[in-house]
Amino acid sequence: MALCWFLACMIFGFALFTGVTARVTARSLATKMPPTTSNVQDLVDDFFYYFAYGSNLLKERIQVQIDGARYEVIGHLPDYELAFVDFGMRWRGAPATIEPIKGSEVWGCIWRVPNSFALELDKQEINYERLNVTVEVPSQKNEDGTMRKIVCRTYRITDPNRKSQQPSPHYKHVIVSGAIEHKLPEYYIEQLKKIQDNGFKGRVELDLEAIRELNALGLTDREVARKYSMSESDKPTTTPF
């Protein structure tokens, strides 16, 4: 009887020891296992930051073509100035660009864009030059207390023959709406509201809810061409933000 009891205790103790050892080993392995590519590398490499300062400030507009874009934060680009140049048929007026000017500033939205949409964004901005800029994020700090800065892709018109012109009311309204939507600084929104538009009345190519009323006013492409003294074949093809 004593022998049976001794053997039972030995078996129970061995099983208990084996179970504890297995759990400790599993925990150790889990601790030592490196993070998977999908958990770390993909978060780093499968998107880029994009700085928008024109019509792509508005979520409704950017997601027409870049529906994978996700808003990150508002950003401040020092030593650049917002400008409107040439004439684009998409918006029936001058598209936005940025000009490097010391002491000036541009506020905008930083979007996270999946790499799978990179070519689509280039296509949207086909007559723009792509560049990387360092954008300040005044609302966020690094661990050392310094202001967060993000290297972003953006676009600007670099045609040496570009001329300053006015945007359409539709384009201006989309820009202002996007600035309000994402709470850009009030003084900057007021500056945007004061931009002089070209007074165009009619439809633009994009049918956005934000400009539904403006689009309802009417002119055909032929009337637009006549208004701006252009033949159909002479229409510029500048593609704005």
- Check whether 155 is labelled as a binding-site residue: no
pLDDT of residue 126: 79
pLDDT of residue 120: 93
93: pLDDT strictly greater than 60: yes
d(CA 46, CA 120) in angstroms, rounded, equals 15
pTM, to two decimals = 0.73
pLDDT at 224: 53
**138 C-beta neighbours (distance < 10 Å), count:** 13
Q: Distance between CA atoms of 80 and 77, rounded to whole angstroms?
A: 7
- The DSSP secondary structure of 151-218, one letter per residue, reads EEEEEE---TT--B-PPPHHHHHHHHHHHHHTT--HHHHHHHHT-------B--S---GGGHHHHTT-
pLDDT of res. 125: 87
Where are the alpha helices (H) located in the chain, listed in sequence order?
A: 2-32, 41-45, 59-65, 118-124, 169-181, 186-193, 212-215, 221-227
Q: Which of 60, 72, 99, 125 is catalytic?
A: 125
Average pLDDT over residues 124-136: 93
Q: What is the pLDDT of residue 21?
A: 44
**Residue 217 pLDDT:** 74
Query: Binding site annotation covers 145?
Result: no
Q: Is 209 a catalytic residue?
A: no
> Which whole-number Å values give the CA distances from 47 to 43, 51, 77, in the listed order?
7, 13, 21
Q: pLDDT confidence of 225, banded at 50, 70, 90?
A: low
Spatial contact of 70 and 93, defined as CB atoms under 8 Å apart: no
Q: Is the pLDDT of residue 7 over 70?
A: no
| pLDDT confidence bin for 241, thresholds 50/70/90 | very low
Domains in the chain (CATH in brackets) are: 42-229 (3.10.490.10)
DSSP state of 83: E
Residues 72 and 49: their CA atoms lie apart, in Å, by 9
Is 171 annotated in a binding site? The answer is yes
Of 88-92, 123-127, 226-230, the least confident: 226-230
Mean pLDDT of all residues in 197-221: 85
236 pLDDT band, cuts 50/70/90, is: very low
The answer to whether 54 is a known ligand-binding residue is: yes
User: According to the model, what pLDDT value does residue 223 have?
Assistant: 58
Is-contact 85 93, C-beta < 8 A? no
User: Quick one: pLDDT band at residue 127, thresholds 50, 70, 90?
Assistant: confident
What whole-number distance in Å separates Cα of residue 55 and Cα of residue 176?
Answer: 8
Q: What is the mean pLDDT of residues 183-210?
A: 95
Indicate whether 37 pLDDT > 90: no
Are β-strands 147-156 and 96-114 bridged in parallel, bridged antiparallel, or unpaired? unpaired
